[in-house]
């Protein structure tokens, strides 16, 4: 910026339009003063550190100790000092706000005036910088800054969610922290599973059942977005794991996928049907994780028919089949109150499918089945018998017929009499006579077989045609 007044002959001779800057002599004085003050500050900081014996690893000034030791050997090669350099020099002064008239005056003075003012204020400036050095020793370290930021964030979160308790945070017992890298990896795995059709599965997903936090990682993949192909392949992986792992997968992933597909398309996707077939590799996991929750949640007849078709096509171990029948009878008892044909429909579909296998069941299971059918005996209220609600579905009568055909020799005489009385009150016009014929043709539990050709007399006048 041009100067209007000149006090130096040399500068006046050079022309009125020449820019005026600080000369080399003044620049060297300023830099020498700054270097001296920096050395004094460093020495003061080191003395305080030794006296207090505190860790200054996070101190702001500790990172700059010794950086300017080699600057004594440097020579100032600049003829003039640019205003931008002065701004840089101002940043070097940590307590520059205490010199309000020092930095601005430099750009408004001529060279001669600057020389004179620097010479006059040289001693005062040194004393001022030394006085400011004591204040610079009280710097804010990195640890204090971090704690301050944390406090600000907690205050902001508290202000946003005023509903939360102001009690100090306590870690939840059993909570686990998942690394960010694992979250990112299984998020990408979930994206691949949503588009999966064929080919190898992602390697992280193959080892997922063996990881400690696999339920949380499984939720990160968003199983509700998987394709049917991915559900089938995932079922084969998880059902091969321990029983608890396979049971959890069946109840959280396979059950929801099957019900959602049936509800949307009114039929089951082929790959999901194959997933149900693959789940029978662990019958206990399938029954506890899929079948029982399905019945307890109130499945529709269409869902029951589709799943029951899997039961009829697959071979089930005898003990698992017996345990499933016993549990289905208990569920039906919980859902049925007095006479309720709606609750008996889906459960009887599965009971019929398991009875059709004609396994040799324990007496405990046979007794449970007898009481299951007797639960639907007519009440004393004749109006209920005449009403529409008293009619039982055909599924119940079909299950009753299969039970009579298969286990007519495994029931006691008292149970036989009660079942015959049940037919009188609740029998079907077409299926009832067949059930009655099968019950009368059976023998009591534990009795030896009758000799061939011996006519059996049960006190009934029904003609037996052999």
Residue 289 carries which DSSP code? I
- Please tell me whether residues 120 and 212 are part of one structural domain: no
User: Can you give the pTM of this predicted structure?
Assistant: 0.57
Residue 171 lies in a domain: no
Please tell me the predicted confidence (pLDDT) of residue 153: 82
Please tell me the predicted confidence (pLDDT) of residue 150: 83
Average pLDDT, rounded, for the chain: 75
Residue 173 lies in a domain: no
Q: Token pair for residue 291?
A: 């079948």
User: What 3-state DSSP class applies to 46?
Assistant: helix
pLDDT tens-digit map of 345-390: 788 899 999 999 999 999 999 999 999 988 877 544 444 544 545 5
| Residue that is written with structure tokens 């049925």 in the block | 336
- Measured on CA atoms in the order 164, 169, 170, 174, is the torsion positive or negative? positive
In this prediction, residue 156 has a pLDDT band, given cuts at 50, 70 and 90, of: confident
pLDDT tens-digit map of 323-345: 999 999 998 888 765 444 554 57
Candidates 277, 373, 287, 382; CA nearest to 327 is: 287
Range of the domain at 437: 180-441
- Please tell me whether residues 305 and 228 are part of one structural domain: yes
Q: Which residue has the higher pLDDT, 41 or 128?
A: 41
Residue 319 pLDDT greater than 80, yes or no: yes
Q: Which helix (H) or strand (E) holds 216?
A: helix 214-220
- Collect all residues with Cβ–Cβ distance below 8 Å to 380 and sequence separation of at least 6: none
pLDDT tens-digit map of 306-316: 999 999 998 89
Are residues 344 and 392 in contact, defined by beta-carbon separation less than 8 angstroms? yes
CA distance 280 to 189: 26
Q: Which residue has the higher pLDDT, 278 or 81?
A: 278
- What are the φ and ψ backbone dihedral angles of 182, each rounded to 5 degrees? -65, -40
Are residues 140 and 147 in contact, defined by beta-carbon separation less than 8 angstroms? no
In this prediction, residue 17 has a pLDDT band, given cuts at 50, 70 and 90, of: low
- Mean pLDDT, residues 19-34: 80
- Please tell me whether residues 46 and 137 are part of one structural domain: yes
- Please tell me whether residues 128 and 187 are part of one structural domain: no
Please tell me the predicted confidence (pLDDT) of residue 91: 59
Candidates 221, 333, 356, 346; CA nearest to 291 is: 346
- Please tell me whether residues 305 and 414 are part of one structural domain: yes
In this prediction, residue 133 has a pLDDT band, given cuts at 50, 70 and 90, of: very low
Residue 57 lies in a domain: yes
* C-alpha Rg value of the chain to the nearest Å: 46
- Please tell me whether residues 338 and 197 are part of one structural domain: yes
Residue 273 lies in a domain: yes
Please tell me the predicted confidence (pLDDT) of residue 82: 62
- Please tell me whether residues 353 and 283 are part of one structural domain: yes
- Please tell me whether residues 399 and 279 are part of one structural domain: yes
CA distance 463 to 466: 10
Please tell me the predicted confidence (pLDDT) of residue 455: 42
For the residues of 79-120, what is the DSSP string, one character each? Answer: SSB-HHHHHHHHHH-TTGGG-TTTHHHHTTS-HHHHHHHHHH
Looking at the structure of the chain, the number of domains it has is 2
Residue 3 lies in a domain: no
Please tell me the predicted confidence (pLDDT) of residue 461: 44
- Please tell me whether residues 193 and 287 are part of one structural domain: yes
pLDDT tens-digit map of 240-264: 999 999 999 999 999 999 999 999 9
In this prediction, residue 90 has a pLDDT band, given cuts at 50, 70 and 90, of: low
- Please tell me whether residues 124 and 255 are part of one structural domain: no
Residue 90 lies in a domain: yes
- Please tell me whether residues 70 and 185 are part of one structural domain: no
- Please tell me whether residues 135 and 184 are part of one structural domain: no
Residue 434 pLDDT greater than 60, yes or no: yes
- What are the φ and ψ backbone dihedral angles of 173, each rounded to 5 degrees? -65, 130
- What are the φ and ψ backbone dihedral angles of 295, each rounded to 5 degrees? -70, -40
Residue 41 lies in a domain: yes
Residue 79 pLDDT greater than 70, yes or no: no
**CATH number of the domain residue 356 falls in:** 1.25.40.480
Please tell me the predicted confidence (pLDDT) of residue 370: 93
Residue 67 lies in a domain: yes
Please tell me the predicted confidence (pLDDT) of residue 45: 86
């Amino acid at each position: 910026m041009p100067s209007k007044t000149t006090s130096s002959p040399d500068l006046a001779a050079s022309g009125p339009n020449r820019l005026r800057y600080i000369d080399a002599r003044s620049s060297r004085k300023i830099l020498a003063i700054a270097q001296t003050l920096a050395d004094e500050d460093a020495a003061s900081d080191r003395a305080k550190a030794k006296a207090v014996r505190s860790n200054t690893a996070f101190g702001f000034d500790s990172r700059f100790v010794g950086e300017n030791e080699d600057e004594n050997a440097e020579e100032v090669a600049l003829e003039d000092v640019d205003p931008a350099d002065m701004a840089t020099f101002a940043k070097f002064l940590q307590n520059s706000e205490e010199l309000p008239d020092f930095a601005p005056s430099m750009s408004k003075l001529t060279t001669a005036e600057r020389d004179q003012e620097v010479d006059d204020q040289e001693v005062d400036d040194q004393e001022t910088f030394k006085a400011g050095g004591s204040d610079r020793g009280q710097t804010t370290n990195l640890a204090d800054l971090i704690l301050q930021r944390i406090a600000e964030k907690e205050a902001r979160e508290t202000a946003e969610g005023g509903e939360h308790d102001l009690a100090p945070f306590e870690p939840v017992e059993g909570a686990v922290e998942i690394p960010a890298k694992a979250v990112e990896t299984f998020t990408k795995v979930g994206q691949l599973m949503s588009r999966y059709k064929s080919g190898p599965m992602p390697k992280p997903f193959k080892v997922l059942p063996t990881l400690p936090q696999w339920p949380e990682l499984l939720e990160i993949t968003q199983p509700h977005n998987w394709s049917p192909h991915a559900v089938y392949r995932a079922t084969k992986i998880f059902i091969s794991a321990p029983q608890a792992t396979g049971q959890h997968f069946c109840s959280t992933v396979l059950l929801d996928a099957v019900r959602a597909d049936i509800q949307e398309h009114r039929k089951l996707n082929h790959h999901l049907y194959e997933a149900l077939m693959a789940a029978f590799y662990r019958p206990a996991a399938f029954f506890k994780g899929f079948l029982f929750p399905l019945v307890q949640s109130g499945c529709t007849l269409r869902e029951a028919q589709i799943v029951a078709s899997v039961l009829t096509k697959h071979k089930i171990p005898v003990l698992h089949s017996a345990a499933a029948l016993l549990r289905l009878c208990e569920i039906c008892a919980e859902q049925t109150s007095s006479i309720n044909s709606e609750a008996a429909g889906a459960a009887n579909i599965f009971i019929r499918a398991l009875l059709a296998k004609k396994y040799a069941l324990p007496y405990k299971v046979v007794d449970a089945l007898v009481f299951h059918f007797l639960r639907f005996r007519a009440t004393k209220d004749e109006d209920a018998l005449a009403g529409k609600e008293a009619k039982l579905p055909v599924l119940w009568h079909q299950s009753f017929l299969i039970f009579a055909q298969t286990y007519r020799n495994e029931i006691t005489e008292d149970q036989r009499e009660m079942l015959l009385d049940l037919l009188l009150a609740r029998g079907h016009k077409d299926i009832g006579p067949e059930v009655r014929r099968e019950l009368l043709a059976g023998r009591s539990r534990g009795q030896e077989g009758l000799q061939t050709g011996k006519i059996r007399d049960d006190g009934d006048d029904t003609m037996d045609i052999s």
